[in-house]
Amino acid sequence: MAITGLYLESAPAEAVFPYVVCKLVSLTMDHTYTEKFESYLIQFDIYEDSSSPKRSAELWDLLIQALDFWVGTVENYTLISTIREGTSMSQWEVEGKKVWDVTLNYRILLQHN
């Protein structure tokens, strides 16, 4: 199972289900006398138009497998942690069609090198 697109902030009107929208919710800067830190809260929304939440749940599972405890590389930073901070699932209707929205929030903590 795969998504058809990954979009930043919003999906285009012609986006085909299922797709994911990624948004920066907040960025917090912090520091000590010798170190600088950044904390990002990023929201991922999976949009799926099937009649059952089963496919949305499968996509949710794939995203969790990819992002939980992600150890990636960010230039000029050391990754401290990637933590899932919350999830939710809702359904709404667009032009008579049911759409599932699965939301996952991740906190990414970085230390500036």
Return per-residue pLDDT of the chain as tens, 113 residues. 678 899 999 999 999 999 999 999 999 998 888 889 999 999 999 999 887 788 888 888 888 998 888 888 889 999 888 999 989 999 988 788 889 999 999 999 999 99
In 3D space, the residue among 108, 106, 96, 94 whose CA is nearest the CA of residue 11 turns out to be: 94
Region 5-112: CATH code: 3.30.2000.30
DSSP-derived pairing of the beta strands 36-48 and 19-31: antiparallel
Q: Write down the pLDDT at residue 1.
A: 61
Q: Residue 108: how many CB atoms within 10 A of its CB? A: 20
